[in-house]
């Protein structure tokens, strides 16, 4: 019998120390940006990795104070590259400006792209949060190495939250920079067509099998046992699949009715994010042959397959 995955536990006690250079591991410094929100928690974590030759992971929002904090923490050391886990603007908006200031190239998983094409009359609900025009100087692919003198990062493609999402593992170490794919403070927003629930599940399986234990996410604090937490996140999403099917079985026929059934007392912004992620669950269950969603004048009508 397969072991029961741990129940999901979220840690929202993180002390961000916004604007301060905080050493979190050997050769790794965190600087948290001043952009807290219901979607970014205490703000975006930017990481400075290396000793004399550095990489900056996720420079964050275009904010003068944050740029100054990063520049001060870097000092006179050489920055080999600015790396992005993905191209949502809370991670990438400062990248071009900081790259020019430091004379550092931008390396990430290719220009922002949708996980599937837009359908007729469909609108991407997070289109304004995406950095569509940012072009990498180097496209990072799965398995590529980023050499920083005495530290090396390995690239791991982890689509799901969005199509070009990457994680970075410290080669021969136990640290994974998990971006927005695995976070300790909340589950990840998966908003179609920008993201894909099928890709998200596959990427969870991928990181669970990797040899990293400590996860450093782009929002919130370190996850001491990242593998166990990723397994719990997978179980949590599978529970949401079942809750959706149960809601439809009980008579919910629209996405709004499903959200009402599963998230009856959540605040408006949480319900907005929940609606986006539940739509991703609907598409996933359709592809699995467990759900039918037919289009009508008043939106999708949901039925069990």
pLDDT, residue 84, reads 98
Q: What are phi and psi of 232, to 5 degrees?
A: -70, -40
Please check the confidence at residue 77 and state whether its pLDDT lies above 80. Answer: yes
pLDDT, residue 88, reads 98
Distance from C-alpha of 176 to C-alpha of 168, rounded to nearest angstrom: 6
- CATH 3.60.15.10 maps onto the chain at 22-224
Mean pLDDT, all residues of the chain: 95
Q: Are 273 and 218 in contact (CB under 8 A)?
A: no
Q: Are 55 and 49 in contact (CB under 8 A)?
A: yes
Q: Are 151 and 83 in contact (CB under 8 A)?
A: no
Please check the confidence at residue 2 and state whether its pLDDT lies above 50. Answer: no
Question: β-strand 138-139 against 28-32: which pairing, if any?
Answer: unpaired
Per-residue pLDDT, averaged over 67-79, amounts to 97
Please check the confidence at residue 6 and state whether its pLDDT lies above 80. Answer: no
Residue pLDDT, tens place only, 192-249: 999 999 999 999 999 999 999 999 999 999 999 999 999 999 999 999 999 999 999 9
Number of helices and strands (H, E) in the chain? Answer: 7, 14
Structure tokens at 184: 């300790």
pLDDT, residue 297, reads 65
Q: How far is residue 228 from each of residues 63, 181, 210, 297, 299, measured CA to CA in Å?
A: 35, 14, 12, 44, 38
Distance from C-alpha of 103 to C-alpha of 226, rounded to nearest angstrom: 34
User: What fold, for 237-304?
Assistant: Arc Repressor Mutant, subunit A (1.10.10)
Range of lowest pLDDT (6-15, 87-96, 214-223): 6-15
Q: What are phi and psi of 173, to 5 degrees?
A: -130, -175
Structure tokens at 16: 């961000």
Please check the confidence at residue 164 and state whether its pLDDT lies above 50. Answer: yes
pLDDT, residue 264, reads 87
Question: pLDDT band for position 296 (50/70/90)?
Answer: low
Per-residue pLDDT, averaged over 20-38, amounts to 97
pLDDT, residue 5, reads 55
- Crossing angle of helices 255-262 and 268-287, rounded to 10°: 120
Give pTM, 2 decimals. 0.95
The CATH architecture one would assign to domain 22-224 is: 4-Layer Sandwich (3.60)
Q: Are 181 and 207 in contact (CB under 8 A)?
A: yes
Distance from C-alpha of 20 to C-alpha of 72, rounded to nearest angstrom: 10
Structure tokens at 37: 């929100």
Q: Are 237 and 201 in contact (CB under 8 A)?
A: yes
pLDDT, residue 4, reads 58
Q: Collapsing DSSP states into helix, strand and coil, what is residue 233?
A: helix
User: What is the percent of the chain where pLDDT is above 70?
Assistant: 97
User: What is the percent of the chain where pLDDT is above 90?
Assistant: 89
- CATH 1.10.10.10 maps onto the chain at 237-304
Please check the confidence at residue 295 and state whether its pLDDT lies above 90. Answer: no
Residue among 73, 83, 281, 100 at smallest CA distance from 166 = 83
Per-residue pLDDT, averaged over 274-297, amounts to 92
């Amino acid at each position: 019998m397969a072991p029961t995955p741990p129940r999901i536990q979220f840690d929202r006690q993180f002390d961000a120390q916004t604007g301060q250079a905080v050493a979190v591991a050997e050769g790794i410094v965190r600087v948290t940006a001043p952009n807290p929100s219901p979607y970014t928690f205490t703000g975006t974590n930017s990481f400075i990795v290396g000793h004399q030759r550095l990489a900056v992971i996720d420079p964050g929002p275009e904010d003068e104070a944050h740029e100054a904090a990063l520049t001060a923490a870097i000092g006179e050391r050489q920055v080999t590259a600015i790396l992005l886990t993905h191209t949502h603007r809370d991670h990438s908006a400062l990248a071009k400006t900081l790259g020019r200031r430091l004379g550092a190239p931008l390396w990430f998983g290719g220009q922002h792209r949708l996980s599937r094409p837009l359908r007729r009359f469909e609108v991407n609900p997070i289109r304004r949060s995406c950095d569509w025009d940012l072009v990498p100087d180097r496209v990072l692919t799965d398995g590529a190495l980023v050499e920083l003198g005495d530290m090396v990062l390995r690239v791991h493609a982890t689509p799901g939250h969005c199509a070009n999402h990457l994680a970075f593992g410290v080669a021969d170490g136990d640290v994974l920079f998990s971006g927005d794919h695995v976070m300790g403070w909340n589950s990840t927003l998966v908003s179609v067509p920008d993201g894909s629930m099928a890709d998200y599940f596959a990427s969870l399986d991928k990181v669970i099998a990797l040899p990293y234990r400590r996860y450093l996410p782009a929002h919130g604090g370190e996850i001491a046992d990242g593998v166990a937490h990723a397994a719990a996140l997978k179980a949590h999403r599978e529970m949401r699949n079942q809750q959706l099917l149960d809601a439809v079985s009980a008579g919910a026929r629209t996405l709004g009715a499903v959200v009402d059934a599963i998230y009856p007392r959540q605040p408006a912004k949480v319900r907005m994010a929940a609606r986006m992620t539940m739509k991703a669950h609907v598409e996933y269950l359709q592809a699995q042959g467990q759900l039918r969603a037919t289009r009508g004048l008043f939106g999708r009508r949901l039925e069990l397959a």
